[in-house]
A and B are shown apart, each in its own frame.
Chain A
Amino acid sequence: MPRSVVARFAAPLFAIALLAGCATPPPADDKEAMMEWDQNNDPLEPMNRAIFDFNQAVDKALLKPVAQGYGAIMPQYGKDRVRDFIRNLRAPVVFFNDVLQGQPDRAMQTLMRFAFNTGFGIAGLIDVAEPGGIPYHDEDFGQTFAVWGIGEGPYLVLPILGPSNPRDGVGIATEWLVDPFNLYMDHIDRSWPVWTRAGVSGLEKRERLLAPLDEIERSSLDYYSALRSTYRQNRNAEVKNALNPTGLR
């Protein structure tokens, strides 16, 4: 089942790319315009903007209101439990990526967290490891590919999923295919837990991003460009694990 979903998304994406075409690069003798073009890293901008507009429409009509409702109704305690549970479910993927990135210490942290939280934290509902001194960190296949030296490729806006690039997009698909939870559900022929989990983690993420995205939209003139720049810079910092101030000398 998870395989067919990837295939189902790939085909229309390719079709839209063909329809929308590419942006025209500036003339080669205009060095500064060329630099700006390279820096934006967005040769598929017309297609990306079309998907971005589609995403914005879906977000305004559905995703954002639902996330706002969840944010307003769910008490903080409940939100924390959902977040902890979703994080714990992803621990095998994080562990796998820690290992693939050659980070045994971080892999051990993730493993210990998974053991403690699954065992003592009621199947991961309560993060008991963090107060116990093993902090959470995130990893994904996109970051692993980056550590392996694979470039991000051109900026890509994915339908519903939003800002990405070929490297991170392949990372998302890889995660979907190798996640033990998905594999197990596939094996016992149950698809609803996979979709429920995807829905809940998407909702949880959108709720967390309500304020930051509103901030970017409000303070920018061209939301698309501001978001593209923010995503690429933030992603770059994540790859370098640079968002951890305790690692400061």
Chain B
Amino acid sequence: MLSRRILLLSAVAAATCLHVPSIAFAVEVKARSFIQDLADTAMNTVAVKDLSDAERALRFRNLFVNTFDLPEISKLVLGRYWRPPTTAEQRGEFQKLFEDIQVYTWTRRFKEYSGETLDIFGVEPDASGDSLVVSQIRRHNLAPINVSWRVRKDGETFRVVDIIVEGASMIVTYRSDYSGVLSSQGGKLDSLLAVMRQKADQLKAGS
């Protein structure tokens, strides 16, 4: 009786041992193809020539809100200012302005697109349970740029939570940037929102 139970247990243990790596492997493969698809879609829809600025911005915005985890990114960028006394409206406003700033920043980058390609080297599991897709942007005549994409499983697909460019995380950099503004404005979130609004308008005009 006992030996049968042990046998059963070891069979289950063996099965899980065999199973876990294959699940992890499947996640890695999917994370990789998610980033590859994201890059391909961006190349084929946003980076194409002869688009009006408005159309390009619209196309990027659609791609961006569907593939990036904006609520999570906003929360991480705002850090301690995300919690009360910050109101839900202020959070919503922050997320909207952050989205706008990203959209106009990236729209201009894609407008200047000149044949860069994305080379994916592999996928590393991350301490937080996310996956890190390690890649390089290859450029004509210039040194490649090291870019890692932190992606998080979201149902059947993934969402980008962070981009790490040459070792610098987008979230860490923005958090430091925005908290610099907040501390110079006496920690008033509305002042930060006003500066962000100004930035978004400025980027929109120049995109």
Q: Which residues of A contact B (CB under 8 A)?
A: 32, 36, 39-40, 76, 208, 218-222, 224-226, 228-230, 233-234, 236-238, 242-243, 245-246, 248-249
Contacts and interface: CB of A to CB of B under 8 A. Distances in A.
Nearest to B112: A211
A220 B134 contact: no
Interface stretch (B45-53, B88-96, B179-187): B179-187
B178 interface: yes
Nearest to B120: A245
Classify the interface of chain A: helix, strand, loop or mixed.
helix
Contacts of A237: 166-168
B163 interface: no
B168 A243 contact: no
A221 B195 contact: yes
Given A219-B101, A243-B167, 5 more contacts: A226-B176, A229-B173, A233-B173, A234-B167, A243-B166
Interface of B: 79-80, 101, 105, 121-122, 124, 134-136, 141, 143, 146, 166-169, 172-181, 183-184, 192, 195-196, 199, 203
Nearest to A231: B168
Most buried by B among A222, A224, A234, A246: A222
B165 to A, nearest CB: 9
B101 A225 contact: no
By Cβ-Cβ distance, the 7 closest A-B pairs, closest first, are: A237-B167, A225-B180, A229-B176, A222-B180, A233-B168, A226-B177, A245-B121
Contacts of A245: 121-122, 134-136, 146
Contacts, number: 81
A36 B179 contact: yes
Contacts of B192: 221
Contacts of A243: 146, 166-167
B167 A233 contact: yes
A234 B146 CA distance: 11
A48 B129 CA distance: 38
Given A229-B173, A237-B167, A221 B199 contact: yes
Nearest to A243: B146
Contact of B168 (A39, A208, A225, A230): A230
A158 to B, nearest CB: 20
B100 to A, nearest CB: 12
A224 B178 CA distance: 11
B105 A229 contact: no
A249 B122 contact: yes
19 contacts: A32-B79, A36-B80, A39-B176, A219-B101, A219-B105, A219-B203, A221-B192, A222-B178, A225-B176, A225-B177, A226-B180, A229-B173, A229-B176, A230-B168, A233-B172, A245-B135, A248-B122, A248-B124, A249-B124
Contacts of B136: 245
Contacts of B177: 220-222, 225-226, 229
A89 B78 CA distance: 45
A224 B180 contact: yes
Nearest to B124: A248
A31 to B, nearest CB: 9
